[in-house]
Amino acid sequence: MYKTLSYYIYTDAHHAHHAADAHHAHHAAYAHHAHHASDAHHAADAHHAAYAHHAHHAADAHHAADAHHATDAHHAHHAADAHHAHHATDAHHAAAHHEAATHCLRH
């Protein structure tokens, strides 16, 4: 049985139509996946931004704590200096008194 020319033309058109559908579906699928990939990418960016934001505050808190400890250490250092100076002064006065007393006893 011979097929007419119109049958071949119709069949070609039919296949072309399905091929075009498949082609569009393929692009639609790509666009759909790209859209979700893009969403996931932005979500990841937001996640990293949140991390960076928290890390920044954590770093600030860490530096504030460092500054707090440095201040404490600084004050402790001065307090220690004052304490030692006080004892040194006491020792100095005691020595002066001792010398004066010894001097008086000699005369």
What pLDDT is stored for residue 48 in this prediction?
Answer: 78
> CA-to-CA distance for 74 and 66, rounded, in angstroms?
12
Q: Which two tokens stand for residue 82?
A: 């004052």
Q: Is the pLDDT of residue 61 over 80?
A: no
Residue with tokens 């010398």: 99
- Please check the confidence at residue 101 and state whether its pLDDT lies above 70: no
The rounded radius of gyration (Å) of the Cα atoms in the chain is: 45
CA distances from 69 to 62, 66, 75, 77, 80 (A): 10, 5, 10, 12, 16
Could you tell me the pLDDT band of residue 105, with boundaries at 50, 70 and 90? Answer: low
Q: What is the pLDDT of residues 9-40, one digit of tens each?
A: 778 787 887 788 888 888 888 888 887 777 77
